[in-house]
């Protein structure tokens, strides 16, 4: 087994390889966002990309040249958010999270460095938001970052009730192309 070592104050987690680390954690949502972003880029609607995770490779196993395998790596710094880019002349930055929980969204899924990053995006005039999927309800919401951050910082619980998202979030419609039509919500929320 390989070891991925986090920066200070973040726990280490053993994994078989780097690519497996995030498997099963929001990958359906992530794939749908990635496909939507490809559609938006191809049609020149927006230029939005998934940010790479900053990893420093330390040791590679070379049993054969074609089968090189990363066996030890470190996260250089915690990554900020999942996606960024430009839409209608504005900088856009957002984080995507998925939960199977039926009644609430666990706050621990959003990390302090992500909150601080999205606060700075807002401070500098950019658009920041969260895309939150409740898989048990088959619903995906877009929530303005300052609104969700305020809730996280003031709530006395470890989770935010599902009903809060129904009242304060904006449902993202699904379609064929793009799969997740989140820019329609961005238009309504930030450009109307």
Sorted by where each starts, the structural domains of the chain and their CATH numbers stand as 25-52+78-190 (3.40.1350.10)
d(CA 35, CA 159): 29
CA 126 to each of CA 18, 64, 82, 95, 167: distance values in angstroms, whole numbers, following the listed order: 31, 47, 15, 14, 24
d(CA 157, CA 178): 36
Nearest to 86, CA basis, from 119, 43, 132, 126: 126
Q: Three-class SS of residue 88?
A: coil
Q: Does a cis peptide bond (omega within 30 degrees of 0) precede residue 152?
A: no
What per-residue confidence (pLDDT) applies to 78? 63
Average pLDDT over residues 121-133: 97
Of the listed ranges 53-62, 68-77, 104-113, 128-137, the one predicted with least confidence: 68-77
Q: Extract the annotated binding site.
A: 80, 82, 95, 114
Give this prediction's pTM: 0.77
Average pLDDT over residues 118-134: 97
48: β partners: 85
Average pLDDT value for the chain: 85
Looking at the predicted structure, is the pLDDT value of residue 2 above 90? no
Determine what percent of the chain is predicted with pLDDT higher than 70: 82
What per-residue confidence (pLDDT) applies to 22? 37
Q: Extract the annotated binding site for Mg(2+).
A: 80, 82, 95, 114
What per-residue confidence (pLDDT) applies to 64? 78
Looking at the predicted structure, is the pLDDT value of residue 18 above 60? no
What per-residue confidence (pLDDT) applies to 25? 41
């Amino acid at each position: 087994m390989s070891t991925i070592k986090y920066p200070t104050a973040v726990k280490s987690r053993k994994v078989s390889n780097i690519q497996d680390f995030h498997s099963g954690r929001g990958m359906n949502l992530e794939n749908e966002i990635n496909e939507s972003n490809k559609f938006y880029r191809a049609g020149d609607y927006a230029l939005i990309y998934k940010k790479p995770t900053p990893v420093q490779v330390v040791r590679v196993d070379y049993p054969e040249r074609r089968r090189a395998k990363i066996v030890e790596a470190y996260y250089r710094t915690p990554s900020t958010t999942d996606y960024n880019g430009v839409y209608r002349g504005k900088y856009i930055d957002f984080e995507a999270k998925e939960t199977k929980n039926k009644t609430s969204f666990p706050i621990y899924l959003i990390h302090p460095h992500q909150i601080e990053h999205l606060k700075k995006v807002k401070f500098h005039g950019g658009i920041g938001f969260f895309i939150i999927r409740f898989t048990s309800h088959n619903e995906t919401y877009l929530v303005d970052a300052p609104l969700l951050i305020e809730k996280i910082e003031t709530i006395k619980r470890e989770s935010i009730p599902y009903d809060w998202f129904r009242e304060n979030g904006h449902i993202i419609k699904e379609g064929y192309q793009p799969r997740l039509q989140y820019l329609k919500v961005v238009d309504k929320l930030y450009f109307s």
